[in-house]
Amino acid sequence: MTRVGFARVDITCAPGTPLGGNAREDKAARGIHDPLHATVAVLVPEYSGEAETQVVIGLDLVTAPDALVAAIASAVQERTGIPAANVAVSATHTHSGPDTAHGFGFDSHDYSLVDRWQDDAVVAVAKAAQDAFAAAVPASLRFATNEVTGLSFNRRLVHCDGTTRMNWEALDPADILGERGPIDPELLVLVFRDHSGGPLGAILHFTLHPAILVGHDGLVSADFVAEAGQALEQALDAPVLFINGALGNINHLDYREAARAIGFEESERVGKALGLAAVAALDNPQTLVDLDDLECRRLTVVLDQRTVDRDRLQHALAVLAAHAGQPVEALDGIPEAAYAYWEANLGRTLTPLLDVNVRVLRFGRVVLVYLPFEVFVEFGLGLRRMFPGHVVRVVSLGDGYHGYLPTAVAFAEGGYEPTFGTSTIEPGQGEHLMHQVTTEVGAMLRAADAARATVRETESNSTSDTGSSTVNATGKVQSIG
């Protein structure tokens, strides 16, 4: 039987640390509203050692850039012997934690405090993984779902003039024809229990930008994720690891409401409502998952990427000259001068091709697809529809970060997310990536079905030969580089 262990560690940054997720002249944290955590689940397949053990890590951070993911995975391997390739890392995307992305290249702030925080956090997370590994016991897994409405909204709007506007803009609702796309209202809870039924921990999946605070009052916070996790943790008396879905164009703002909902009261309202929905999901029918049927595959997909040409560079330099000496700030979105700074500096380093690493982690019929983007919700819903009878979910900001992953339609519509800088891929490359992912997931599920059919046939033959079943088959982890 697969063994499972959970652990959690505080990774709160100190006051003064630059906060990530918005453009500010002063990004320094002024205090702490609620702590940030790293939550770790370690899954150890039966009859296997470190080589086939899988580690799942959730971080209350705006992003987990490639360098941070690599540092954590390496530190986990050093402490536990579990291969770095078996370590999955995702960020919740809170906009009120340390700016691990160094402003995404949109500013020239001093990020030395973030770097020092990161050095300490890597050690702490690796120690938590070691603790979870040591605490692993034989476990079972069940999942439940619930539909949550009224908390999430598609933030891309159709204005009466035909343009795309964002729901954080000061707009007259009478001028809005509607939202450009759907939402994903389904909440997923995976609960791991020991042999006596006691909860070991849970994974909570929902699709919503944790940008209710966006650095509100300059205080550190996990945003709504804190309250959502807390409600479920209290019900289970066990840690909860939050993973975000295809959140690229989904936030908490209802354009029909006159006042913009922001601040801690709103994040608590949303978080508590989501947490109570997660608790209620436990009263719904729960489906047993074959936890011994555990598999991880990894693939690299090459995408076409936009680059800074001479015309773009000249325009960026002109914008910077015009804005010289003026503050560059925005509660939501990115100011023009920040885009110009990015193009004149980090943007110039872009290459025409981008290697994108994808992780597909399967527990029986439950599949988590880690993508290093803020993925548009249409892609998440589309992937789910391709595999009825299975639970397939996108994990945004998984194992790295490469900006937004908009649909080809969104590029044609315009708006914030496809803008060069917030997204660097060429139009249509999101569809190319998801085609490759769908192909891989399909191959994985067909192979799993064939393996189960072989086991059933073997058991049937054994029963007919001996009059009783003598085969006790278990799944085996397959880690593909």
pLDDT tens, residue by residue, 93-137 = 999 999 999 999 999 899 999 999 999 999 999 999 999 999 999
Q: Cβ(300)–Cβ(286) under 8 Å?
A: no
Residue 474 is assigned to a structural domain of this protein:
no
Give the mean pLDDT of 276-297: 94
Residue 273 is assigned to a structural domain of this protein:
yes
- Say what the pTM is: 0.93
CB-CB neighbours of 176 under 10 Å: 16
Nearest partner of 151 among 190, 181, 184, judged by Cα: 184
pLDDT digits (tens, 9 = 90+) for 224-257: 999 999 999 999 999 999 999 999 999 999 999 8
Nearest partner of 200 among 237, 252, 146, 172, judged by Cα: 237
pLDDT for residue 50: 78
Residues 222 and 312 in one domain: no
pLDDT for residue 465: 61
pLDDT for residue 260: 67
At 332 the three-state DSSP class reads coil
pLDDT digits (tens, 9 = 90+) for 311-356: 999 999 999 999 987 877 766 788 899 999 999 999 999 999 999 9
Residues 196 and 334 in one domain: no
Q: Residue 319 belongs to what domain range?
A: 308-349
- Band (pLDDT 50/70/90 cuts) for residue 26 is confident
pLDDT for residue 466: 53
Residue 96 is assigned to a structural domain of this protein:
yes
DSSP 8-state assignment for residue 151: S
CB-CB neighbours of 412 under 10 Å: 11
Give the mean pLDDT of 365-391: 97
Total number of domains constituting the chain: 2
Residues 323 and 241 in one domain: no
Give the mean pLDDT of 365-381: 98
Residues 41 and 175 in one domain: yes
Kindly report the average pLDDT of the chain as a whole number: 92
Q: Which residues have a Cβ under 8 Å from the Cβ of 119 and sit 6 or more positions away?
A: none
Residue 183 is assigned to a structural domain of this protein:
yes
Residue keyed to tokens 């296997």: 48
Beta strands in 266-411 (DSSP E): 287-289, 294-304, 353-363, 366-370, 374-375, 391-395, 404-405
Q: Cβ(189)–Cβ(281) under 8 Å?
A: yes
Exposure of 267 in the CB half-sphere (CA atoms within 13 A): 26
Residues 327 and 435 in one domain: no
Q: Cβ(62)–Cβ(99) under 8 Å?
A: yes
Residue 447 is assigned to a structural domain of this protein:
no
Residues 233 and 187 in one domain: yes
- Band (pLDDT 50/70/90 cuts) for residue 309 is very high
Question: Which two three-digit tokens encode residue 167?
Answer: 């729901």
State the sign of the Cα–Cα–Cα–Cα dihedral 167, 398, 5, 286. Answer: positive
Q: Which residues have a Cβ under 8 Å from the Cβ of 60 and sit 6 or more positions away?
A: 11, 36, 37, 38, 91, 92, 94, 97, 222, 225, 226
Give the mean pLDDT of 398-427: 97
Residues 271 and 337 in one domain: no
Give the mean pLDDT of 38-66: 93
Question: How far apart, in whole angstroms, are the C-alpha atoms of residue 371 and residue 380?
Answer: 11
CB-CB neighbours of 311 under 10 Å: 8
Nearest partner of 341 among 367, 322, 360, judged by Cα: 322
Residue 468 is assigned to a structural domain of this protein:
no
Residues 330 and 366 in one domain: no
Residue 460 is assigned to a structural domain of this protein:
no
Residues 65 and 171 in one domain: yes
Residues 295 and 312 in one domain: no
Residues 264 and 230 in one domain: yes
pLDDT for residue 463: 63
Question: How far apart, in whole angstroms, are the C-alpha atoms of residue 412 and residue 127?
Answer: 47
Phi and psi (nearest 5°) for 436? Answer: -65, -40
Give the mean pLDDT of 295-308: 97
pLDDT digits (tens, 9 = 90+) for 429-452: 999 999 999 999 999 999 998 888
Nearest partner of 479 among 9, 16, 87, 58, judged by Cα: 87
Could you tell me what percent of the chain has a pLDDT over 70?
94
Residues 287 and 423 in one domain: yes
Q: Cβ(75)–Cβ(60) under 8 Å?
A: no
pLDDT for residue 300: 98
Residue keyed to tokens 């278990």: 474
The answer to whether residue 478 scores a pLDDT higher than 60 is no
Exposure of 3 in the CB half-sphere (CA atoms within 13 A): 15
Nearest partner of 80 among 39, 119, 43, judged by Cα: 43
Taking the CA atoms of the chain, what radius of gyration do you get in angstroms?
23
The answer to whether residue 373 scores a pLDDT higher than 90 is yes
Give the mean pLDDT of 150-163: 97
